[in-house]
């Protein structure tokens, strides 16, 4: 299937707009794409008329020129006829927003739409979905733009069976400064499934990390998913729903999927070095870390802090998540102590975690990170920055970023997420170093790198 006309169309028809109900899902989709995005957008309704002084076409065939993709937002019973009209017009793909198919027990209608599409090799997203969000380009979500917070353009491709989960994570990503290349709500995933999206993102130069929210697979579909994962060169993050009996039942009524045996799924994900997130919080942290360091690491972490207590908290979190905190070599400790500032040299603790104390200055952090990066026992460095102390400047993020570039080992930072410290956070993020807003979140980023290390 050629999906480029779905995700990068030049023109789009929204089928099902209303001339009397501005809040109709099709109207929301048509209006925001017509006014805010570069895709040429047409409105279609059998009754015709006008919408905001623009023509409403009664049939797709009335539209002059090509239509790359269609958004179908009509009652479920009309969808098969509309899909046939799309095929006749030469439309190259669709998003079927409409619900009322297998998730409602209407399997025959869903199968009818599926048969029509497969016979014509006509790809579509859905049904029962929100569809596609491509930053600055396309948005088929029937949610008013002023109601949602949209992430910036980035390098994470996110695919979700649930539209609500996708939108919620877009809000979380925006809050953490994480950008996405494409967000796709696949709903009942009749034609376009997770496997197809792996194929798309594998070839997409704008995507570095692939994230999934998965409720379940059809028989034998899980095996095909694993094959795609095995051959994919990009890190994959998965949040799997349907872990408990109640959740498994909810999955069936939501998107008509089979949740399957979660324990088996989880073990297979570990075997193929997929970063399986246990919850939404982990998913966000994993995506941010891997978007900066897609190759992962073995997870032997060196911790640097100016607060002994924060080092202890980080050590506990590492233990909980199976992350190793190795001892550093005597040579490393010697080099660090020799180059520390005079006021810190005699009082700093250089066992891993390193406690530079509240008397440290920028150069003490730079020295510690530089020599930890050269230690053969250390694969990744966790910097716990508390910008309250007088010796830490607003340039510390940029300075440590320069060290990271020179030394070549992953660095992950913890900085309190406050506007007052924005310049420090930007010093890291503008240099592609992930920043967590909690010690736990920073440790989860290390966990992501360990889970996605080369197998």
Instruction: Say if CB 12 and CB 67 are below 8 A apart.
Output: yes
pLDDT of res. 356: 98
Residue 159: pLDDT band (50, 70, 90) is very high
pLDDT of res. 453: 64
pLDDT of res. 257: 54
pLDDT of res. 281: 93
Task: Compute the distance between CA of residue 246 and CA of residue 322 in angstroms, rounded to an integer.
Answer: 29
Bridge partners for 94 per DSSP: 70, 124
Assess whether the region 1-124 and the region 148-292 belong to the same CATH fold: yes
CATH number of this structure's domain 296-451: 3.40.50.261
> Into which CATH architecture does domain 1-124 fall?
3-Layer(aba) Sandwich (3.40)
Query: Angle at CA 242, nearest 5°, toward 241 and 246?
Result: 135
Instruction: Say if CB 366 and CB 342 are below 8 A apart.
Output: no
> Residue range 314-332: average pLDDT?
97
Classify residue 337 by burial, with Cβ atoms within 10 Å: 0-12, 13-18, 19+.
Answer: middle
The dihedrals phi and psi of 124, each to the nearest 5 degrees, come to: -145, 155
What sign for the dihedral angle of Cα 314, 319, 322, 325? Answer: positive
Question: Which residue from 235, 281, 289, 275 is spatially nearest to 411, judged by alpha carbons?
Answer: 289
> Residue range 427-455: average pLDDT?
91
Q: Which residues touch 317 (CB under 8 Å, ≥6 apart)?
A: 439, 440, 443
Task: Compute the distance between CA of residue 286 and CA of residue 451 in angstroms, rounded to an integer.
Answer: 9
- Does the pLDDT value for residue 454 go beyond 70? no
- Does the pLDDT value for residue 338 go beyond 70? yes
Structure tokens at 412: 């992950």
> Residue range 403-415: average pLDDT?
97
Average pLDDT over the chain reads 93
Q: Which residues touch 78 (CB under 8 Å, ≥6 apart)?
A: none
- Does the pLDDT value for residue 335 go beyond 80? yes
> Residue range 322-342: average pLDDT?
97
Task: Compute the distance between CA of residue 174 and CA of residue 135 in angstroms, rounded to an integer.
Answer: 12
Instruction: Determine if residue 325 is left, alpha or beta; phi over 0 gives left, psi from -120 to 50 gives alpha, anything else beta.
Output: beta
pLDDT tens profile 193-233: 999 999 999 999 999 999 999 998 888 888 899 999 999 99
Residue 9: pLDDT band (50, 70, 90) is very high
pLDDT of res. 255: 53
- Does the pLDDT value for residue 133 go beyond 70? yes
- Does the pLDDT value for residue 375 go beyond 80? yes
The pLDDT > 90 percentage for the chain reads 85
pLDDT tens profile 60-81: 999 999 999 999 999 999 999 9
- Does the pLDDT value for residue 3 go beyond 50? yes
pLDDT of res. 249: 54
Domain edges within the chain: 1-124, 148-292, 296-451
Question: Which residue from 444, 449, 332, 310 is spatially nearest to 379, judged by alpha carbons?
Answer: 449
Q: Which CATH class is domain 148-292?
A: alpha beta
Task: Compute the distance between CA of residue 325 and CA of residue 105 in angstroms, rounded to an integer.
Answer: 52
The pLDDT > 70 percentage for the chain reads 95
């Amino acid at each position: 299937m050629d999906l480029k006309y779905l995700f990068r169309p030049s023109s789009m028809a929204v089928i099902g707009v209303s001339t009397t109900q501005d809040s109709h899902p099709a109207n929301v989709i048509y209006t925001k794409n017509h006014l805010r995005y570069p895709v040429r957008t047409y409105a279609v309704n059998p009754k015709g008329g006008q919408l905001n002084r623009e023509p409403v076409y009664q049939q797709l065939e009335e539209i002059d020129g090509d239509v790359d993709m269609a958004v179908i937002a009509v009652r479920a019973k009309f969808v098969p006829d509309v899909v046939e009209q799309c095929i006749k017009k030469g439309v190259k793909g669709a998003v079927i927003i409409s619900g009322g198919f297998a998730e409602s027990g209407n399997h025959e209608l869903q199968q009818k739409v599926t048969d029509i599409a497969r016979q014509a090799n006509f790809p579509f997203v859905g049904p029962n979905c929100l569809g596609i969000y491509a930053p600055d380009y396309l948005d088929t979500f029937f949610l008013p733009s002023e109601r949602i917070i949209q992430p910036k353009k980035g390098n994470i491709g996110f695919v979700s069976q649930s539209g609500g989960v996708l939108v919620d994570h877009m809000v979380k990503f925006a809050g953490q400064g994480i950008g996405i290349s494409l967000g796709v709500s696949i709903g009942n995933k009749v034609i376009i499934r997770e496997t197809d999206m792996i194929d798309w993102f594998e070839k997409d130069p704008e995507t570095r990390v692939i994230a999934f929210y998965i409720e379940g697979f059809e028989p034998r579909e899980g095996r095909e998913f694993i094959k795609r994962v095995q051959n994919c060169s990009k890190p994959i993050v998965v949040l799997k729903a349907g872990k408990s009996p109640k959740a498994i039942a909810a999955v069936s009524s939501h998107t008509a999927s089979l949740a399957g045996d979660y324990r088996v799924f989880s073990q297979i994900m570990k075997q193929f070095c997929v970063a399986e997130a246990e919850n939404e919080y982990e998913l966000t942290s994993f995506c941010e870390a891997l978007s900066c360091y897609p190759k992962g690491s073995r997870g032997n972490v060196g911790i640097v802090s100016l607060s002994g207590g924060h080092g202890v908290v980080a050590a506990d979190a590492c233990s909980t998540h199976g992350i190793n905190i190795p001892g550093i070599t005597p040579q490393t400790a010697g080099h660090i102590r020799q180059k520390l500032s005079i006021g810190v040299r005699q009082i700093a603790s250089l066992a891993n975690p390193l406690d530079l104390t509240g008397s440290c200055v920028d150069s003490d952090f730079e020295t510690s990170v530089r020599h930890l990066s050269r230690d053969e026992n250390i694969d990744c460095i966790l910097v716990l920055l508390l910008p309250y102390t007088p010796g830490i400047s607003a340039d510390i993020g940029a300075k440590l970023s320069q060290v990271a570039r020179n030394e070549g080992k992953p660095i992950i930072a913890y900085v309190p997420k406050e506007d007052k410290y924005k310049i420090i956070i930007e010093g890291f993020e503008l240099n592609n170093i992930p920043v967590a807003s909690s010690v736990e979140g920073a440790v989860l980023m290390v966990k992501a790198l360990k889970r996605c290390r080369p197998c």
